[in-house]
Amino acid sequence: MKKILLIGTGGTIASVESEQGLTPGLSPEEMVGRLEFRFQCDVDCIVSLNLDSTNIYPNHWVKLATMIHDYYDNYDGFVITHGTDTMAYTAAALDSMLMHLDKPVVLTGSQIPMTLVDSDGEQNLMDAVHYAADGLAGVYIVFNSRVIKGTRAMKMRTKSKHAFESVNYPYVAYVDNTRITYHSKPLDAERGRRLELETRLCTDVFVLKLYPGINREIFRFISTNYKGVIIECFGSGGIPFYEVDLAEEVKALIDAGVVVVLTTQCLEEGIDIDLYEVGRKIDRNQVVISQDLNTEALLAKLMIYLGKYVNMQEVIDNIHLDIEKESDDSLFSCDISL
C-alpha cells in the first residue's frame, strides 16, 4: 500500500463557524474522519499551520518545504490542505524550493468548509489523496476534479467550486473517484537525483501594476527599498513614455541594481515587448521577460533567485533559464472556458 502524508495548514476546508466568522478549527485527522470513503492507501496526518491562507507568508513556505524534505523518504506522496486565497503562491513556491522531486506534492482545499452542507472539501480531499498516491511527480493543485501544474494555477473565482484555472497551460489531468485521466503530461522528473531543498528567500520584492496616471515617484521608492520588482505592463508589454516617461524610470531601476521582471496584466497569451514601440524602449537583455507565466509563479521564482544569488546578472540569467524550461514544457495554451 502507498503511504501518504497529509499536512494541515488550516484554510476554509478546515474552518468552523465562530463569532468572528469562519476560522480554521478542524485537524487533519478530523477531516479524514469525516470521509466515509476508504482510501486505497495509508494516510498519516500532521499539522504544520492552522491559518487562513491570507495569513500565510514566505516563512511558512519554508516550513512546509522543510517538512516535506524531512519526511520525504518515508512517504510515496504528500497532500497539503490549504486555504484557496494564496494556494497558488504556495504551490509555485514549493515547486521552486523542492528541486528534483520524484514524488507528487498536492495542494487542495475547498470553497465551503467541510463542516457545512454541500461542502466541496470531502471530494477535493479524496481526489488529492488519490493523485498523491498514483499521480505524476511534481507540485500540483487538485481542485474540482482538475489537476493543475503548481506554477500555472490562479484563483479566478471567490465563491464557485471551480475556483482555479490553469493559465496558459492545459489541465494536467482529471480525477474521477479513483480514476486519473491525463490531458497533458509535464516533463518527467529527473530520475535518480536526490531531492534538494532551497530555502534561501529574499522577500524584498514589489509587485507593481501599471495604470493610467500612475505617479512616477513609486519607481523611486522601489529603487531604494527593494531588490526586485515585477511590473505588470499593459497588453503585450506596453510601458508609457509619452508626457510621463515610465520607460526611463524602469531604466533607472535597472541602473540602481533592482532586478526587473516584466509581465502583462492580461491573463492569457503572455508578453511580447518587441511588438510595439511602447515595449521596445526597454532593453530586453537587462530585464526578465515573463513569457506566459503568471505573477504567482514569478513572485516565487524572483524571491528564491534573489535569495540564492548576490549578482544581479546571475539572478536574471537563472530566472531566464527557469522560465525557458517552463515554456518548453508548455505544449499549448489552456482554454479557460473548460
- The CATH number of the domain holding residue 270 is 3.40.50.40
Is 168 contained in some domain?
A: yes
Same domain, yes or no, for 72 and 104? yes
Domain of 8?
3-196
Angle at 175 between CA 171 and CA 180, to 5 degrees: 90
Q: Give the phi and the psi of residue 159 in degrees, each rounded to 5.
A: -125, -35
Same domain, yes or no, for 229 and 140? no
pTM of the model: 0.93
Same domain, yes or no, for 244 and 286? yes
Give me the half-sphere count of Cα atoms (radius 13 Å) on the Cβ side of residue 208. 28
Same domain, yes or no, for 229 and 162? no
Is 337 contained in some domain?
A: no
Residue 303: CB atoms within 10 A of its CB come to: 23
Same domain, yes or no, for 59 and 139? yes
**Cα–Cα distance, 90 to 160 (Å, whole number):** 21
**Cα–Cα distance, 70 to 156 (Å, whole number):** 33
**pLDDT tens digits, 223-254:** 999 999 999 999 999 999 999 999 999 999 99
Residue 166: CB atoms within 10 A of its CB come to: 24
**Closest to 113 in 3D by CA, of 6, 20, 22:** 22
Residue 117: CB atoms within 10 A of its CB come to: 5
Question: What is the model's pLDDT at position 328?
Answer: 66
**pLDDT tens digits, 70-111:** 999 999 999 999 999 999 999 999 999 999 999 999 999 999
- What is the average pLDDT score of the chain? 92
pLDDT band, very low/low/confident/very high, at 193 (cuts 50, 70, 90)? confident
Question: What is the model's pLDDT at position 1?
Answer: 87
Which of 177, 196, 215 is the last residue in one of the domains?
Answer: 196
Question: What is the model's pLDDT at position 39?
Answer: 77
Active site residue 12: yes
Which runs of E-coded beta strand occur in the chain?
Answer: 3-10, 15-16, 23-24, 42-51, 77-81, 98-99, 104-108, 138-143, 146-149, 153-155, 164-166, 173-176, 179-182, 196-197, 205-209, 228-233, 259-264, 288-289
Q: Confirm if 202 and 306 have CB atoms less than 8 A apart.
A: yes
pLDDT band, very low/low/confident/very high, at 177 (cuts 50, 70, 90)? confident
Same domain, yes or no, for 320 and 174? no
Could you tell me which residue, 165 or 183, shows the higher pLDDT?
165
- CATH value at residue 49: 3.40.50.1170
**pLDDT tens digits, 271-326:** 999 998 899 999 999 999 999 999 999 999 999 999 999 999 999 999 999 999 88
Q: Look at residue 333 and tell me whether its pLDDT is greater than 50.
A: no
Which of 175, 196, 217 is the last residue in one of the domains?
Answer: 196
Rounded to 10 degrees, the C-alpha dihedral 67/73/75/79 comes to 30
Is 263 contained in some domain?
A: yes
Residue 133: CB atoms within 10 A of its CB come to: 24
Is 335 contained in some domain?
A: no
What is the Cα gyration radius of the chain? 20
The SS3 assignment for 173 reads strand
Q: Which three cell numbers stand for residue 155?
A: 484563483
Q: Confirm if 166 and 146 have CB atoms less than 8 A apart.
A: yes
Q: Which of 9, 12, 81, 108 is catalytic?
A: 12
**Closest to 124 in 3D by CA, of 264, 241, 11, 273:** 11
Q: Look at residue 36 and tell me whether its pLDDT is greater than 80.
A: no
Domain count, the chain: 2
